[in-house]
Amino acid sequence: MVIEKIFGTCIRNIPSTENVLYLTFDDGPHEYCTPTVLDLLARHQVQATFFVVAEALQRNLSVGRSIVAQGHHLGNHSLDHKYHHFFGNDRYLKKWVGRARDFIEQSLQVQTIGFRSPLGIQTPHLRMALRDLQYPLVHWNQRFFDTQRGLPRTAILHRVPQFQSGDILLLHDTHIKYGHSFLEGLEFLITYTKKVGFTFKVIPSDLVPSNLEVTARCL
Ligand SMILES: [Zn+2]
Per-residue pLDDT of the chain (219 residues; tens, 9 = 90+): 545 555 567 899 998 889 999 999 999 999 999 999 999 999 999 999 999 999 999 999 999 999 999 999 999 999 999 999 999 999 999 999 999 999 999 999 999 999 999 999 989 999 999 999 999 999 999 999 999 889 999 999 999 999 999 999 999 999 988 888 999 999 999 999 999 999 999 999 887 654 444 444 454
* Residue 158 covered by a domain: yes
* Residue 218 covered by a domain: no
Cα of 96 vs its chain's centroid, Å:
18
* Residue 2 covered by a domain: no
Cα(4) to centroid of ligand 1, in Å?
24
* Residue 64 covered by a domain: yes
| Number of separate domains in the chain | 1
Residue 150 to residue 152: CA distance in whole angstroms: 6
CB contact at 8 A, 116 and 135: no
Cα(27) to centroid of ligand 1, in Å?
5
Cα(172) to centroid of ligand 1, in Å?
8
- Which residue blocks in 109-213 are alpha helix, DSSP H? 124-133, 146-149, 153-159, 179-195
Cα(68) to centroid of ligand 1, in Å?
20
Cα(155) to centroid of ligand 1, in Å?
20
Q: What is the DSSP letter of 213?
A: -
* Residue 121 covered by a domain: yes
* Residue 130 covered by a domain: yes
Cα(65) to centroid of ligand 1, in Å?
20
Spatial neighbors of 57 by CB under 8 A, at least 6 apart, are 29, 64, 103, 104, 107, 108
What's the predicted TM-score (pTM) here?
Answer: 0.92
Backbone Cα Rg of the chain: 16
Cα(77) to centroid of ligand 1, in Å?
7
Cα(25) to centroid of ligand 1, in Å?
9
Residue 213 has what pLDDT?
42
* Residue 3 covered by a domain: no
Spatial neighbors of 114 by CB under 8 A, at least 6 apart, are 11, 75, 76, 135, 136, 137, 138, 203, 207
Residue 199 has what pLDDT?
97
Residue 207 has what pLDDT?
78
Q: Which domain holds residue 56?
A: 9-211
Spatial neighbors of 211 by CB under 8 A, at least 6 apart, are none
Residue 179 has what pLDDT?
82
Nearest to 45 by CA among 24, 15, 72: 72
Give the Å distances, CA to CA, from 211 to 13, 92, 106, 116.
13, 29, 26, 20
* Residue 35 covered by a domain: yes
Cα(53) to centroid of ligand 1, in Å?
8
Residue 219 has what pLDDT?
47
- Number of Cβ within 10 Å of residue 10's Cβ equals 21
CATH for 48: 3.20.20.370
